[in-house]
Amino acid sequence: MSLTQEASERIRDAIVSGKFEFGERLSEEQIARALGMSKAPVRAAFMELRDMGLVTIVPQAGTYVFTPSRKDVEEMSQFRAMLEKEALQMALVRNRSGLVQQLSAAISQMDHAIESGDRLRYSTADSAFHRVILQIAGNRYLEKAYDLTATALAALRARLQSGEGDYWHRSYAEHTRMRDLIDQGEFDAAHALLQEHILIINRSLALPDTNTQIRQKAQLRSDQECQELLLQSQG
């Protein structure tokens, strides 16, 4: 793994898990110190994370964790719902039994995460569940399109997990029900539940109408706190 990849993964995981807050300023120099590397790979990592939609780079001002508005979330979730609906239809035709098997494996990981109280592990398993549908669909362009919003939405789901006490159990029940409906051949019901499961984020997250209502935070964390958060993000 290159230093740029390492920096990108550490920062990405800290954002997705909610350790770095929306609008938080990220210091290239501070993160480089925390990771024990030069600023060059961190700078390159910021560019990668910008392309994922996770950070905003403001010239002469700095790099900030992305700050989604309600409209952003609605558009991202609607886009994802359309892609996953098509991907599920394709996956059912290509390999229904393999789909059920791999969805079950992801559900097993969710189960372990809930038992251990590991939110990051649950988020990873949640993402893996949906990724299975895209992979079995077998269309690489569909998967590339999905990647445009997948990481940002994972970050939003992580905040939803921390804000609702029953989120894990409801989410787990919905994933399990989807798998069962597919296994039983109830495809219309599976499609409907998938759409509801994705779009519920629009009603569950309290977000402003526009990005301008979210203030960027100029205050940086201490070097020690930054280092701890980045190390924790790797589990």
pLDDT at 81 over 70: yes
Q: Tens digits of per-residue pLDDT, 132-181?
A: 999 999 999 999 999 989 989 888 887 776 655 577 888 999 999 999 99
The pTM of the full predicted model, rounded to 2 decimals, is 0.80
Q: Give per-residue pLDDT as tens, 34-70.
A: 999 999 999 999 999 999 889 999 988 889 999 888 8
Residue 214 has a pLDDT of: 47
Taking only the tens place, the pLDDT of each residue in 201-214 is 877 665 555 554 44
Q: List, in order of start, the domains of the chain with CATH numbers.
A: 3-67+214-232 (1.10.10.10), 70-204 (1.20.120.530)
Average pLDDT of the segment spanning 219-232? 77
What mean pLDDT, rounded, does the chain reach? 88
What is the model's pLDDT at position 205?
A: 63
51 CB-near residues (< 8 Å, 6+ apart): none
User: Which has more pLDDT, 104 or 155?
Assistant: 104
pLDDT of residue 234: 57
Query: SS in 3 state form for the chain?
Result: CCHHHHHHHHHHHHHHCCCCCCCEEECHHHHHHHHCCCHHHHHHHHHHHHHCCCEEEECCCEEEECCCCHHHHHHHHHHHHHHHHHHHHHHHHHHHHHHHHHHHHHHHHHHHHHHHCCHHHHHHHHHHHHHHHHHHHCCHHHHHHHHHHHHHHHHHHHHHHHHCCCHHHHHHHHHHHHHHHHHCCCHHHHHHHHHHHHHCHHHHCCCCCCHHHCCCECCCCCHHHHHHHHHHCCC
